[in-house]
Each structure stands twice: as C-alpha cells, then as structure tokens.
C-alpha cells in the first residue's frame, strides 16, 4: 500500500516538474526573442492563489540566502510599483521588462513611448478583461467588455458625460462639501458638535461625500448627511433611497448597502451567495446582506425607470445614468438591430449593434457608482491628508482660493450671491489652473486610483512595439501592465520642484510638491541643454511612433491638465488611463475635487492630529517651540508611513481600519498672522541672524513697522474669509524642511510688503514678527555674541535631537508595534485555547513523527566543537496508518466535536442577541468593555465538550460505535503529558479563562 502511494506521488511530481520546466523553457525563448530585459520567477505573480497567500510565502522565501531572491521577489508582491517606485527600474537599467514564469509572460512598462502606443492601438493591445470578469456578477459593463460589445456599452454610457452635467456636478459638489463640513463642525460657522476637534473618519466621510454626489447627479437620488432631512415635496419613489432608515423590504439603507458592498467586495467576488449565507463569519453575513439589499434596490430602481420611460415622462435633471441606460432599451421608438462592419488597420470585424440587457444596465450602474464614487473619494482623502502634511502648500492654496472666490457670501447654493460666486463657467478653469488644480494633479501623480493598467497583446498575431528607436516583437497573448504609479515618479519626465540646480538637484519625485506643476524641466537654473534637447527629441520620436485613434468614443475630449500648468509628455501622466479606453468621468472627477478643496479651504485649515502622543490641548500649550516641532514631525512621519501602506482592492486606498486623523483650530487667518508677529517680536535675538528672515527684516526697516499689522489694518474693511487655521505655527513649521528656503513662492513675493506669510511658511519658521523698525536693518548685519539663553536653547535642541533620533530608531525598528500586536493577539480567550492545543500537538508530534538521525555537523577545531548529530522528524511516517489513526482521533476529540458543539450551543451569541433586542439594535461583535461578544465558537462550551469527550474516550474507553481505535487512544494517552488527566486540566484552564473574560466584560 505504501509503495503504491509513493509511486503515485512520484508520478504526479514528475509530471508537474516536466510541465514547469518545459513551460519555463518555452516562455524564456519567447522573452529572449523580444529583445527586452526579462527576469524569471517560479510562479505567475498575478495568479489568484498566490495573490491571496503571498504574505505566507514571502517571509519564508526571505529566509533563504539573499542572492537567491533579491532579483525577482519584488515583482511577486502586490503593489510593488507603489512601494518601490524607481528602485528596480534603475537596477535593471530599463523602463520596460518582462516577467517570465512557467505559465505566463507579463510585460511591465513605465515608458511613455510604449504606454502611448499601447493605449492608442486598442485593437492590437486590447484591455485584459479576464482580470475583470469577476465584476460581471452584476452584469456586463463598459469596464468588462471589449471589441464590438464594448462599443455598444461605451456609446450608451458616454452620452451623460458632457460639460453641462459637469456644471451640474460642480454645484452638487459644493452643496455636498458644505454638508460634510456641517457634519464635522456642526454648522457653517464651524462650531463642532462634540468634545474633540479631531476628525478620525476622513476616509469614510469622503466616501459618503462622493456617494452623495454620484447618487444625486448620476441617478437623481438625494442621499443625506446625519442631521439632514429629505425635502417634503420629494418623489416618494426616490425618498426611500435617501432615507436614513431602512424602507420596508430592506434590512439596511441604500447608502449603507452600497458602502458595505464595496467594503466587502472581495468576499462578494470570491464566494457564491449560497456559501456566504452558510459561512459562520461576520464578514460573510455582512457581504451577503449588503449584496442582497443592493441588488434589490437596483432592481426596484430599474423597474421604476422602465415605467417612467415607457410612460413618456421627461428625463430628470443631471446625468441620469440609469435613465440613459434604460432609454437605450425601452424607448418608444427602438432602432432596428443591424449588423455593423468595423474596419481597423489590423482586421475587419462584424458586430451586432444590439441593445443592453437588464443585467447589463445594472452592471453599468454598479461600475458607474464605483468609478464615480470610490476613485474620487480616495483622491480627495489623500489630498486632504497631504495638505495637512504640508502646511506651506495649504497656505498657498488658500491664497489662490481667496484671490479667485473672495469671502464666502452665503452658505446656501441657491442664494443669488452664492450662485455668482460659484458660477461654473467663471471659476472652474481658473481653479484648475491655480494651486487647487496643481494639488489635485500632484495627488493623482503620487497616488493614482489604479496603480497598474492591464492590457494584453491581441491573440491573433504578434505585435510590434517601438521603444527608444528599437522595434520589439511582442508574442500574441502576452499580458501587459502599464504602471502609472512608476512613470509618474520618473525624474526623466518630471521637473523637480526644488530650486537647486546642476548634478546636486534633489530627486523629489516621491514628495508631495504641487509647485512642480508651475515649472518646466529647464527653468530650475541648470544648464542642461543636452538633456532638454534629448527630451524634445523624445517627444518627436513619440509623436512619430504613436498611432493616434481619432474615433469619437464619447466623453470629455480635452486634456487632463490645465494649459497653464506643466504639460507632461504624453504617456507619462495617466491617472485616468489614456486613449479610447480612458476614464469617461475624468472631467467630472476633476470638477468635483476642485469644488471640494475650494469650499473647505475658503473657510478652514486642517492639520494633523497629535492626540496619539498628547492627552489634551493643555499639554501642547505647555510645550516649547522645539517640542511642538518634534511632535508635529512625529505626526507627519506617522501619516506618511500610513499612506505608504495603501493597497488596491478595486482602487488604491487605506484598508484594515488604517486612517490619518486630522484636526482644526479656531484662529482666523489674520489672527494667526498677528499671533506669529507677536511670537517673533518676543524672540528677536533668536531670529535676527537667521538668513531666512533677512528679507523680512529689511522690508520692516523700509516700512518702519510691521507689514503684517499694516496689512491687517488695511484690509479690515475687506472682510477676509473666516478660516480655521492651525493652533500655532510651531506645530506647522516641522512640515517644511530648511531645503525649501529657495522656494519660488518666496521669490515671487520678495518685493511685496505682505510676503511674510509665504516666506516664513516655506522656511519652516515659528512665527511672523513685529520688529523695532529701521534699527533692525543694522542689527541684522552685526554678528553679536550668543547670549546664555541662546546657548541653553542650543543645548536643549541638541538633547532633544538625540532623544528624537533614538525614539525614531526604536519606532522604525517596529519592535514596539510588534510587541503591542503580539500582546493584543495573546490577550484573547482563543489564544489561550490555541496555546493549549499547540502544547498537546507538540507532545503528540514526538509520538507520531519520531526524530530520526539525518546527518552530522562535523567538528570545528578552531572553535573546539565536537561532532554534532542532527535528528529530524521522520516524515515518511505521514504515509502510514500509524500516523493518521492517532492524528485523526485527536483532531476529532479535541478540535472537531468541541468546535461543533461550541458553534451550535453558543451561549455568547444568545446573550449578545438578547442585549441587541432589548436595545433595539442588531448584534455587534465588540471588543469594548461592557458589551458581550458573540463568538463564532463559544469557548466555554468548547472546553466543556472537550472535557466530556476526553473523559469518555480516553478514560472510559468508549469507541463511539467502533469509530475510535483503542490502539490510537493508547498511543495518544502515552504521548500527552499526564494522558487524559492533563487534557482535562487544559480544558479547565481554558474554561476558567473564558469565564474570567466574560466577567471582565461585564
């Protein structure tokens, strides 16, 4: 028997090895023929099994010698492009390379030339829709189709994306942003409801903001913020979608069903409904309930739209995406179906110009909600966090908003003055050409919604691709991944925002610097004519090799970037993709985000919250300037570390409860300037010799007083916009390093008496100053000796720097986080039960897999060590009945039967349900004290049943109808510590632990 099993295993292994080796040889030959750089990996990196389990294998692979994995393992980790940027492209010395596995070929590229050709030649390089087929669960859509069928979907869906609807979206974005501010601050005047200024729900709130916009503009559904009410004259059919309470026939609101469907999208995509309904896990129940509610809502909405269309009712205001989709099928004058022949350069195809099915309508509606909701929300979320990280950029954005919009006239979008102020035709292009547009562009450059765009070489023929003057023949069927997140950080195609020049120019491609959008590649003062000529030549080559697809596929046809800003080389900036399959709603998205940033920063400023390190504001107020700077730097480091952990499911976002908290303060902008002025006046000796403030002191000497106070007095009758700003600039100063001293913004304002705010913010100063007048012009040129107070401050700064560095090294090591994570995991009932089971398994392993001599480590004379025999577990025992009999018996008695009993006789679930019913809510698993926890398997019942089964089987010899082998029982008793008595002790410990845990929660 054992020989037969071994022979079968050997045959299977041999066949697998042959398949792997032959497939690898064939694919390596194809890769060599292309002439591109290639690397070899053991498994397809986009294989679904690897994608779900890579986190288990990567640490094990890294235990091997580094030389065995350092050249290829990076590409096996999802989001490697976002994590590593240019690192591996620089090491390979190429902008395009091929990954070869036994089953696939994948080309990764960050070459603008290659990207432009691939995105324009739609028939030669179609979208790899096999990666999107899983999204067809709601029906086919414009995202999941290709060729002629895609044209049908594109034609129907693109009709709603026009400039008129962009204006409608702009107005609704202004309205919804005010609703979000009202929720944060309790009203338009900024008086927040609650006891804390910290906003921890930024990611969730921007998702709600975007959903409310697409819900109303795209589908005519008025969704509400907490505290809002629906208009009394609203259509009852639409009211149920915006209600804050679940309507009859539904167990959750429409907004909640959409949000939870997207949150649990992975489970919904991976598991069928029947399995989700049966799985005893919270995520499965939530996924099933959310999907069921969402599908029911959309079916009802579809039927209502069909009735409206067939009855001849006029279309609703806005994009009315669902109405447009329904009219394409159910209008009263249907277009006859006919065959349509399409001729391209490569081939001629005949497609059926058919209408969409009901499932296609719902599928497109789902994609429009996702595309018009999650992508925009995530970008706005990242933009707000980056602006909190970079106060200097935030100040410049606020000045541009003030210049374009002035003081907010009204909080009602329907007010005539507000309509004038927020007139779409008047303000949208200036906004997108200002620092508002630069901020949105820079956010999309660093964190595009999609980090990898999948394409594939057409399966009917090899395709030629010209890169850097060389033509490469790509094999048919090869996968291609375009990497926006890499090409958008390539210094070859982007200007540096820093003002340094020459070879020492700082590579700041990974930094958030919207100022780079005001520069060209040759305006940094460097004499780099050869490089500029090369770039011009590259543009000419790109234009020569590109095959422009001039067909009209609908949607916005203009550039993604304002003509007043830096225009990247075609193919080097593609947050919305490019070519025929570019995002339909990119104009809508830019309009939404510009409106939101303008509304928020017309009134308020945001900063990073520091609650994690300080208890209250009093502690911050008691700190010195250096301590505040160190504190804010710590918040910045934590924020940037959190952003680096962003990951993609549908789009790039923060997952797993990760978030960056932000806060606000009650200073107005002018109040802040005067407070800064007071601060510098009290610390003249500290700042008078600082070269960063010489221009300011000189301007004061010329003006004979404080330009800040003069500006404040001169503009009192201008009613400056109220804005929430940071509590003190010491907390903001850490956001900008000294390298920013030469920032172009300060240069632009050098001759203006009001340049102080810009210069000090960009120079990381603590405050603006009030100086004694002309005398400071002379004092600033005198090299005065340091005072004892300055010496003491220098010593304090040194000590603080050393302490901060030591703290940073400890924090960066991850030891603290690892210890806290381990402690949190071990501080549960399940960890105690698992530890007891692992101890039993350890004892049982010595009986079932005894150690056998393997080899001897020879003696080392230099160290004086003797020969050391090495013994390893006898793995051949796994194929014998002597192993499986006791192993299955232990698993049955110690794991399976107790788990089944703990699942069905679940006292914790009953208690939680009882409390939920008495409180009028639903069962919520909580780790907070005072709330019962509904365990999937009740640990007390698990321990009781395990004790009973152990005593009956191991002490009394009951065989359960012959199911238990007495020999297996005997071997288990001899292997376990103290036999069945030891097991009973373990169950007593785990049971008491569970009871103790329950008492603590009470």
| Two tokens, residue 465 | 């691709």
In the chain, what is the straight-line distance between the N-terminal and C-terminal CA atoms, in Å?
A: 57
- From CA 196, how far away is CA 921, in angstroms rounded? 26
Q: Indicate if the alpha-carbon torsion angle 182, 188, 190, 195 is positive or negative.
A: negative
Other CB atoms within 10 Å distance of the CB of residue 952: 15
| Two tokens, residue 230 | 């629906």
Q: Which residues contact 461 (CB under 8 A, 6 or more apart)?
A: 346, 476
| Two tokens, residue 23 | 């497939």
- From CA 939, how far away is CA 903, in angstroms rounded? 9
Strands 339-343 and 348-352: antiparallel
Q: Indicate if the alpha-carbon torsion angle 254, 260, 262, 266 is positive or negative.
A: negative
- From CA 675, how far away is CA 672, in angstroms rounded? 5
Q: Where are the beta strands (DSSP E) in 128-176?
A: none
Cα-based distances in Å from 60 to 64, 66, 68, 683: 7, 12, 12, 56
| Two tokens, residue 743 | 């920032």
Cα-based distances in Å from 242 to 188, 228, 235, 636: 23, 10, 11, 38
Torsion of CA 464, 466, 472, 478, to 10 degrees: -60
SS3 657: coil
| Two tokens, residue 197 | 């200024």
- From CA 806, how far away is CA 809, in angstroms rounded? 5
Residue with tokens 């979907």: 153
Residue in 873, 868, 935 with CA at minimum distance from that of residue 904:
935
Other CB atoms within 10 Å distance of the CB of residue 909: 21
| Two tokens, residue 806 | 């030591």
Q: How buried is residue 795: exposed, middle or buried, by Cβ count under 10 Å (0-12/13-18/19+)?
A: exposed
SS3 502: helix
Element (H, E) at 603: helix 586-603
- From CA 341, how far away is CA 629, in angstroms rounded? 67
- From CA 868, how far away is CA 432, in angstroms rounded? 73
Which phi-psi region, left, alpha or beta, contains residue 823 (left: φ > 0; alpha: ψ -120 to 50)?
alpha
- The residues that bridge with 869 in the sheet, in sequence order, are 856
SS3 695: helix
SS3 468: coil
CA 296-301-306 angle, to 5 degrees, is 125
Q: Which residues contact 26 (CB under 8 A, 6 or more apart)?
A: none
Residue in 713, 694, 646 with CA at minimum distance from that of residue 374:
646
Q: Is 583 annotated as a binding residue?
A: yes
Which parts are annotated binding residues?
583
Which parts are annotated binding residues for heme?
583
């Amino acid at each position: 028997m054992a020989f037969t099993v071994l022979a079968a295993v050997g045959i299977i292994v041999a066949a697998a090895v042959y398949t792997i080796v032959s497939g690898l040889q064939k694919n390596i030959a194809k890769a060599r023929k292309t002439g591109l750089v290639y690397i070899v990996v053991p498994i397809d990196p986009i294989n679904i099994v690897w994608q779900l389990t890579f986190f288990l294998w990567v640490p094990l692979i890294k235990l091997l010698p580094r030389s065995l994995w350092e050249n290829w393992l990076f590409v096996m980790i999802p989001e490697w492009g976002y994590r590593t940027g240019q690192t591996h492209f620089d090491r390979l010395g190429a902008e395009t390379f091929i990954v070869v596995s036994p089953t696939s070929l994948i080309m990764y590229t960050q070459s603008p030339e290659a990207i432009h050709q691939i995105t324009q030649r739609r028939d030669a390089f179609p979208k790899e829709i096999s990666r999107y087929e899983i999204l067809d669960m709601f029906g086919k859509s414009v995202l999941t189709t290709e060729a002629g069928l895609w044209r049908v979907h594109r034609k129907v869906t693109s009709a709603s994306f026009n400039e008129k609807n962009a204006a409608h979206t702009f107005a609704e974005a202004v309205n919804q942003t005010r609703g979000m501010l009202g929720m944060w601050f309790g009203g338009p005047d900024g008086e927040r409801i609650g006891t804390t200024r910290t906003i921890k729900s930024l990611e969730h709130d921007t998702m709600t903001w975007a959903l409310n916009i697409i819900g109303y503009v795209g589908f005519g559904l008025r969704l509400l913020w907490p505290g809002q009410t629906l208009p009394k004259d609203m259509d009852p059919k639409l009211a149920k979608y915006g209600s804050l309470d679940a309507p009859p026939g539904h167990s959750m609101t429409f907004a909640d069903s959409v949000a939870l469907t997207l949150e649990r999208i992975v489970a919904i995509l991976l598991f069928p409904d029947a399995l989700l309904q049966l799985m005893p896990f919270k995520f499965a129940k939530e996924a099933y309930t959310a999907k069921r509610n969402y599908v029911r809502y959309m079916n009802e909405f579809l039927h209502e739209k069909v009735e409206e269309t067939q009855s001849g009712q006029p279309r609703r205001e806005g994009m009315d995406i669902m109405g447009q989709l329904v009219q394409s099928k159910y209008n009263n004058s249907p277009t006859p179906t006919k065959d349509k022949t399409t001729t391209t350069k490569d081939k001629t195809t005949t497609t059926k110009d058919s209408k969409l099915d009901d499932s296609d309508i719902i599928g497109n509606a789902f994609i429009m909600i996702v595309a018009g909701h999650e992508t925009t929300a995530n970008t706005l979320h990242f933009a707000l966090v980056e602006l909190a990280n970079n106060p200097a950029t935030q100040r410049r954005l606020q000045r541009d908003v003030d210049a374009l919009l002035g003081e907010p006239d009204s909080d009602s979008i329907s007010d005539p003055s507000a309509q004038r102020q927020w007139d779409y035709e008047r303000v949208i292009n200036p906004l997108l050409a200002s620092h508002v547009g630069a901020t949105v562009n820079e956010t999309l450059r660093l964190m595009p919604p999609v980090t990898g765009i999948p394409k594939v070489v057409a399966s009917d023929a090899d395709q030629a691709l010209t890169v850097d003057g060389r033509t490469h023949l790509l094999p048919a069927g090869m996968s291609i991944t375009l990497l926006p997140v890499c090409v958008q950080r390539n210094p070859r195609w982007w200007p540096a925002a820093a003002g340094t020049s020459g070879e020492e120019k700082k590579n700041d491609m990974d930094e958030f610097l919207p100022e780079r959008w005001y520069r060209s590649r040759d305006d940094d003062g460097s004499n780099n004519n050869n490089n500029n000529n090369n770039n011009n030549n590259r543009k000419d080559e790109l234009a020569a090799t590109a095959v422009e697809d001039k067909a009209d596929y609908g949607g916005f046809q203009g550039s993604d970037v304002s003509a007043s800003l830096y225009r990247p080389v075609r193919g080097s900036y593609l947050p919305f993709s490019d070519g025929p399959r570019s995002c339909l709603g990119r104009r809508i998205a830019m309009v939404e985000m510009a409106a939101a940033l303008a509304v928020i920063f017309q009134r308020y400023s945001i900063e990073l919250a520091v609650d994690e390190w300080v208890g209250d504001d009093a502690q911050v107020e008691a700190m010195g300037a250096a301590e505040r700077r160190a504190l804010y730097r710590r918040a910045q480091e934590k924020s940037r570390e959190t952003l680096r952990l962003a990951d993609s499911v549908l789009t790039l976002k923060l997952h797993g409860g990760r978030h960056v908290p932000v806060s606000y303060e009650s200073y107005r902008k002018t109040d802040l300037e005067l407070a800064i002025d007071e601060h510098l006046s009290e610390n003249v000796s500290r700042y008078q010799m600082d070269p960063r403030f010489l221009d300011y002191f000189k301007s004061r000497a010329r003006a004979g007083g404080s330009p800040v106070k003069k500006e404040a007095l001169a503009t009192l009758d201008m009613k400056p916009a109220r804005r929430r700003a940071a509590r003190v600039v010491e907390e903001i100063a850490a956001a900008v390093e000294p390298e920013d001293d030469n920032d172009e913004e300060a240069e632009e304002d050098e001759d203006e008496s009001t340049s102080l705010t810009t210069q000090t913010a960009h120079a990381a100063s603590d405050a603006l100053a009030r100086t004694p007048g002309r005398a400071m012009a002379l004092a600033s040129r005198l090299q005065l000796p340091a005072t004892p107070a300055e010496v003491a401050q220098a010593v304090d700064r040194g000590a603080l720097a050393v302490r901060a560095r030591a703290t940073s090294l400890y924090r960066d090591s991850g030891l603290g986080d690892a210890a806290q994570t381990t402690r949190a995991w071990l501080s549960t009932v399940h960890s105690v039960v698992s530890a007891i089971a692992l101890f039993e398994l350890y004892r049982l392993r010595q009986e079932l897999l005894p150690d056998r001599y393997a080899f001897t480590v020879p003696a080392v004379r230099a160290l004086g060590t003797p020969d050391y025999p090495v013994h390893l577990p006898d793995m051949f025992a796994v194929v014998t009945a002597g192993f499986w009999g006791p192993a299955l018996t232990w698993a049955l008695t110690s794991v399976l039967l107790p788990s089944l009993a703990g699942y069905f006789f679940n006292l914790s679930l009953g208690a939680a349900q009882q409390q939920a019913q008495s409180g009028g809510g639903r069962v919520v698993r909580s780790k907070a004290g005072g709330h019962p926890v509904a365990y999937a398997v009740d640990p007390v019942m698990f321990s009781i049943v395990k004790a009973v089964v152990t005593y009956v089987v191991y002490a009394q010899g009951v065989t359960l109808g012959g199911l238990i082998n007495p020999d297996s029982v005997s071997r288990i008793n001899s292997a376990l510590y103290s036999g069945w008595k030891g097991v009973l002790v373990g169950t007593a410990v785990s049971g008491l632990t569970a009871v103790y845990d329950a008492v603590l929660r009470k």
